[in-house]
């Protein structure tokens, strides 16, 4: 939740920013925001319900984590029918809205830091480099080591790796 007319120099879609720019903006957003809420869904929840519903669950948790109820939700492409607040889902919202772009920076930095923690727990997967995305390197590590506790079993390459390791 940002104050009215909040401008953040250099803010853009988090995917368009360097890691250093995201880190700088993360700190500035945390300092200037009226409130920040972060929500997550576990790999088990994602496997049980699907990625879209787990995303909605995490978004709802982020809203619940805010220090006060927002007046209006600006959302990046995904509507939240279970949340009874005025809202608007905007396609490519992180490129069109300061609030959505700020939320995307908070989410990306939070996830990258979590992947750094996972890298320390499971160094053989090199999560620090690919952040858990389905890159060629990640798929090679998955084939070599099989899935670990944080891998989503419903993600096809993980299921394929399990099948290969079980001789199927």
Q: How does pLDDT run across 88-142, given as a tens digit for each residue?
A: 999 999 999 999 999 999 999 999 999 999 999 999 999 999 888 888 898 899 8
Question: Which whole-number Å values give the CA distances from 70 to 1, 111, 135, in the listed order?
Answer: 7, 23, 37
Q: How does pLDDT run across 57-67, given as a tens digit for each residue?
A: 999 999 999 99
Residue 2 lies in a domain: no
Kindly report the CATH number assigned to the domain that includes residue 48.
3.30.420.10
- Tell me the average pLDDT of the chain: 93
Domains identified in the chain, total number? 2
Residues 148 and 92 in one domain: no
d(CA 119, CA 130): 10
Q: Which domain holds residue 39?
A: 7-121
pTM assigned to the model: 0.91
Q: With contact defined as beta carbons under 8 Å apart, do 106 and 94 qualify?
A: no
Residue 40 lies in a domain: yes
Residue 1 lies in a domain: no
Strand partners, 73: 87
Residues 31 and 78 in one domain: yes
d(CA 116, CA 14): 18
Residue 166 lies in a domain: yes
């Amino acid at each position: 939740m940002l104050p009215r007319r909040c401008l953040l120099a250099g803010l853009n879609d988090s995917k368009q920013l360097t890691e250093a720019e995201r880190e700088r903006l993360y700190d500035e957003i945390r300092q200037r925001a009226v409130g920040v809420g972060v929500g997550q869904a576990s790999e088990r929840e994602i496997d049980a319900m699907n990625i879209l519903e787990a995303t909605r669950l995490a978004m709802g948790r982020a809203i619940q984590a805010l220090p006060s109820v927002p007046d209006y939700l600006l959302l990046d492409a995904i509507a939240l029918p279970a949340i009874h607040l005025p809202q608007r889902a905007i396609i490519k919202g992180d490129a069109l809205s300061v609030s959505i772009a700020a939320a995307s920076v908070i989410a990306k930095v939070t996830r990258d830091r979590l992947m750094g923690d996972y890298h320390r727990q499971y160094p053989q997967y090199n999560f620090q480099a690919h952040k858990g995305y389905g890159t060629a390197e990640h798929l090679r590590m998955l084939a070599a080591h099989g899935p670990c506790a944080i891998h989503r079993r419903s993600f096809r390459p993980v299921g394929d790796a399990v099948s290969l390791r079980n001789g199927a």
